[in-house]
Amino acid sequence: MKKKTKVCLVATMMFGICLLMLNSTDLVRAKDSDYPKKSIKYIIPFGAGGTTDVTSRALIKATNKYLVEPIIAINKPGGGGVTPALAVMNAKPDGYTIGAFSSTHSLMLPNTDECPYKDLSGFSIIVRYGKYLWPVVVRSDSPWKTWEELVAWAKKNPKGAIKLGCTSNRARSPVGHSIFTVERHEDFEFTFVAFKSTGKVLSALLGNHIDVYAVSTTPSLMEYVKEGTLRILAYIDVRNPEHKHIPSFREVYEFKPTNFVGIWGPKDLPNHVLEKLGCAFAKGMHDPEFQKTMDRLYMPVSYLGRSEFREDLNEFFPFVSKTMKLLKAKAKIK
């Protein structure tokens, strides 16, 4: 089944600019002819085989065509996301250590007690390359055929009657934040059940231990949907091009979920490094093999350059801080 990946108009414009920059001998020699002189470490804050790992490696492979020295992927999970973030933040600002990050690392963690960084001032933002596709899924034998039916049932029954599975502690989960926003809007509550991995959430749903799955889309999940074992009621942020009839919370509730995967480095990266990397990644995002990988893993390509991405993060930060305080207070009450 073919899917068309749409890259924002700004990506196309940036692509043209990058072509000029990367192909202009005078400009390159004047600003950054010696960068990179050696390989660039790219820290992936998750284990091997996951969506972020596979898409990062595909983007690296595509981007390496436009750099003199290669980018090398290094998996470095740990500390609930703090360890890889600190490895990037504390690196020398010379452009030879960068990494992938999501809302968990940039927005949730700074609002936790154990995280040593409390804002994004220690990082240089390079580019956003994608968004996660977050479905709200039930078993096909569930009494709810639509999201509206689930909401109506939840309002008529005791709060917490529906068990919703997700990964991570709720306060640290961007999906958890979005679900919490919807709960407050509709005035009902799920019983939130945390698991260590997407696979464990899926197994719990199939085994009838939870009622609803709300994690990233995976090929294995979609196989169960296609064969009719599972049913998708809604998407939290972007819609799946294969399921244009299924609504998203972004549209229904008119709020902006904190959903992204991007690339950052330590603060004070030189402008010529930021420009070189930003343009190389923008070109890599147009690579057909990279886009095929994104399609296969159900991650929409979503480009934002460093200035726009930084503005986006600054807009998200107060909302996430407020939501985390509410979730923490709620947890203490219970």
Q: What is the pLDDT of residues 15-46, one digit of tens each?
A: 454 544 444 433 443 355 689 999 999 999 99
Q: In sequence order, what DSSP letters do the residues of 93-112 get, joined into one string? A: SSSSEEEEEEHIIIIIGGGS
Round the average pLDDT of the chain to a whole number and report it. 90
Over the range 70-102, which residues count as b (16 or more CB within 10 Å of their CB) and which as e?
bbebebbbeebbbebbbbbbebeebbbbbbbbb
User: Which is it for strands 135-139 and 212-214: parallel, antiparallel or unpaired?
Assistant: antiparallel
Beta-ladder partners of 151:
none
Section 64-72 average pLDDT: 97
Q: What is the pLDDT of residue 170?
A: 87
69 plus 167 within the same structural domain: no
Q: What is the pLDDT of residue 39?
A: 98
277 plus 227 within the same structural domain: no
Q: What is the pLDDT of residues 123-180, one digit of tens each?
A: 999 999 999 999 999 999 999 999 999 999 999 999 999 999 999 888 889 999 999 9
Q: In terms of residue numbers, what domain contains 311?
A: 9-131+260-324
161 plus 231 within the same structural domain: yes
Helices (H) and strands (E) in the chain, counts: 13, 11
Question: Distances in Å between the alpha carbon of 15 and those of 207, 252, 285, 305?
Answer: 47, 33, 9, 11
Q: What is the pLDDT of residue 36?
A: 97
Give 243's DSSP letter: G
Query: Is residue 79 classed as helix, strand or coil in its secondary structure?
Result: helix
Of 253, 137, 303, whose CA–CA distance to 205 is shortest? 137
Is 1 a residue whose pLDDT tops 50? no
Answer whether residue 1 is part of any domain: no
19 plus 108 within the same structural domain: yes
Number of compact structural domains in the chain:
2
CATH of the domain at 161: 3.40.190.10
